[in-house]
Amino acid sequence: MKITRLPVDPGPAGWNALLPEAAAPVPLESAVTADWLVIGAGIAGLAAARRLAQLHPGDRIVVLEARRVAEGPAGRNSGFMIDLPHDLTSEDYGGAIERDRFQIRANRHAIAFAHGAVEEYGLTPEAFDPCGKINAAATEKGHRHNLDFARHLKALGEPCEMLDAGQMQELCGTGYYHSGLFTPGAVMVQPAMYVRGVARGLASNRVQIHEGSPVVALDRSGDWVAKTPKGQVVAPRVILAVNGHAEAFGQFTGRLMHVFTYASMTRALTEGEVARLGGQARWGVTPSDPLGTTVRRISGTGGDRIVVRNRFTYNPTLESSDAQLARVVRDHDRAFAARFPMLAGVDMEYRWGGRLCLSRNGVAAFGQSDEGLFSACCQNGLGLAKGTLGGVLAAEQASGVGSELLDGMLAEAEPQRLPWGPVARIGATAVLRWGEKRAGREL
């Protein structure tokens, strides 16, 4: 398997830009042997490496990352680690009761694993804050979606609380929202701070992480041999944790949908702007319509800022350009102005795009595909929770450790095959545009 090109993410990873410059990377520049190789140092790859270190404390574990930790999708997501059903293809995020109960158990297992890493490596609440989240409704239709979702959660036995317009304004400082649905189990993550902290913790536990080391070929002759531009790793077992890039490794070809979503982050607000805004210093809302606008207010490293995320594009080549970014983020400015008129004149300092990998039937690209080769890919828009879970379970499967959650993952169908390329592109683009138009003021 020769890998000739890497995905292209437009713009800087804004979350990472807020942090102090990381230590110089250590690319792989020699031939090494290992007991385990993990390809990809994102959410899934770091979770897999940590679980392997727990299960095999004496083994040599090597992680290869094409770029810098937190510069790829792991450092570009919105930072919601969600415990409840959150199906982006559903009108109200929910699904069948029993499937949703399994998903809740799985997501909470992932959150508990991530929380263990936070405690072990001494990360702060700014990196990982188990404060819950709000599904915000800007329209009567959105409010009805929240009511439907609340009824679904109550059928599941899950706690939630409806917030009225006044409570939403007290929280967010804006009168834009009609209502909100608070659920207490989600975690708000500063994604770059989190993944860099986990990577540092793993390195201190003798896991070797080589940044700037893209795998350009992966072959098996007895053991697996992964070649980088200046080195190679020989290992009997490999965990592939590269999300949609798995197709470049010959895995799940023609079964994965590659979608970009986009975000903008303001400059740090002044004291006067903070006073005009009001509300609480840290909060996050997902939209009641899955194709609406996600908003977070953050404070801490980098100052007091607001992040908005909306718009989706279908990019089967795993490439999005700065020109495409410039076109879609105009909607960020409109969404920001509509929600925060008291902050007129506040500019966006960072704008970026990040990749999602989806399957038509909403399942992961997971499991053993060859002798010693395991995949933890396709997170269907929930990279923090499902990426963590996929990495943990891939490490356990490769180690022969069984569980109810692993059995459930292995029982799922394969990702469904996509239509012929041009048909898939036209169909996916039409569905996205129609969904965004239908979102109305939620966008």
Q: What is the DSSP string of 181-211?
A: EEETT-EEE-HHHHHHHHHHHHHHTT-EEES
Q: Which residue shows structure tokens 């909100």?
A: 180
Which pLDDT score is estimated for 383? 86
Please give the average per-residue pLDDT across 90-97, as a whole number.
62
Angle (CA) 149-128-337 rounded to 5° is 60
Q: Which residue shows structure tokens 């009609």?
A: 178
How far apart CA 16 and CA 74 sit, in angstroms, is 10
Token pair recorded at residue 367? 């499991």
How far apart CA 418 and CA 424 sit, in angstroms, is 7
pLDDT digits (tens, 9 = 90+) for 22-67: 999 999 999 999 999 999 999 999 999 999 999 999 999 999 999 9
Which pLDDT score is estimated for 346? 98
pLDDT band per the 50, 70, 90 thresholds, residue 97: confident
pTM (two decimals): 0.95
* CB 377, CB 357: distance < 8 Å: yes
Which pLDDT score is estimated for 92? 52
Token pair recorded at residue 355? 């990749």
Q: Which residue shows structure tokens 């895995």?
A: 251
pLDDT(372) > 50: yes
How far apart CA 287 and CA 408 sit, in angstroms, is 29
Which pLDDT score is estimated for 255? 96
Identity of the residue numbered 335: A
How far apart CA 242 and CA 246 sit, in angstroms, is 6
In Å, how far are 114, 158, 183, 279, 326 from 132, measured between CA atoms?
15, 13, 6, 17, 32
pLDDT(174) > 50: yes
Q: How many CB atoms lie within 10 A of CB 23?
A: 10
Please give the average per-residue pLDDT across 191-214, as a whole number.
96
Give the DSSP H/E element, type plus range, for residue 219: strand 217-221
- What are the residues whose beta carbons fall under 8 Å from the beta carbon of 14, sequence distance 6 or more? 76, 263, 264, 265, 307, 349, 350, 351, 352
β-strands 305-314, 294-298 pairing: antiparallel
Which pLDDT score is estimated for 4? 87
C-alpha torsion angle, residues 11, 12, 13, 17 (rounded to 10): -160
Token pair recorded at residue 340? 């925060």
Which pLDDT score is estimated for 95? 63
Please give the average per-residue pLDDT across 116-121, as a whole number.
98
pLDDT(365) > 60: yes
pLDDT digits (tens, 9 = 90+) for 265-278: 999 999 999 999 99
Q: Which residue shows structure tokens 């929280």?
A: 171
Q: What is the DSSP string of 284-297?
A: EEEESSTTS-EEEE
Please give the average per-residue pLDDT across 235-260, as a whole number.
96
Token pair recorded at residue 152? 């679904």
Closest alpha carbon to 227 in 30, 57, 89, 380: 30
Which pLDDT score is estimated for 381? 86
Please, which contacts does 221-224 make with residues 24 or more away whose CB atoms are closer than 8 Å?
A: 223/372, 224/37, 224/372, 224/373
pLDDT band per the 50, 70, 90 thresholds, residue 88: very low
pLDDT(223) > 70: yes
SS3 content of the chain, % helix, strand, coil (to 5): 35, 25, 40
Q: How many CB atoms lie within 10 A of CB 201?
A: 19
pLDDT band per the 50, 70, 90 thresholds, residue 70: very high
Token pair recorded at residue 78? 């919105």
pLDDT(77) > 90: yes
Which pLDDT score is estimated for 96? 79
Which pLDDT score is estimated for 93? 54
Q: Which residue shows structure tokens 């609380």?
A: 161
pLDDT(90) > 80: no
Task: Return mean pLDDT, the chain.
Answer: 95
Q: Which residue shows structure tokens 């036209």?
A: 426
Which pLDDT score is estimated for 89? 53
Q: What percentage of residues in the chain have a pLDDT greater than 70?
A: 98
Q: How many CB atoms lie within 10 A of CB 22?
A: 16
Beta bridge partners of 188: 80, 129
User: When comparing pLDDT for 313 and 381, which is higher?
Assistant: 313
pLDDT band per the 50, 70, 90 thresholds, residue 87: low
Please, which contacts does 16-21 make with residues 24 or more away whose CB atoms are closer than 8 Å?
A: 16/68, 16/70, 16/71, 16/75, 16/192, 16/196, 17/350, 18/190, 18/192, 18/301, 18/302, 19/70, 19/192, 19/193, 19/196, 19/301, 19/302
Give the DSSP H/E element, type plus range, for residue 141: helix 140-155
How far apart CA 281 and CA 327 sit, in angstroms, is 30
Residue 69 half-sphere exposure, CB side, CA atoms within 13 Å? 31
Please give the average per-residue pLDDT across 393-407, as a whole number.
97
pLDDT band per the 50, 70, 90 thresholds, residue 117: very high
| Strand ranges, E, within 41-159 | 61-64, 80-81, 128-129, 133-137
Tell me if residue 104 falls in helix, strand or coil: helix
How far apart CA 198 and CA 267 sit, in angstroms, is 27
Return the minimum-mean-pLDDT range out of 42-46, 83-87, 115-119, 180-184. 83-87
Beta bridge partners of 260: 313, 355
pLDDT digits (tens, 9 = 90+) for 319-363: 999 999 999 999 999 999 999 999 999 999 999 999 999 999 999
Residue 342: DSSP 8-state: G
How far apart CA 159 and CA 171 sit, in angstroms, is 20
φ and ψ of 83, to 5 deg: -90, -25
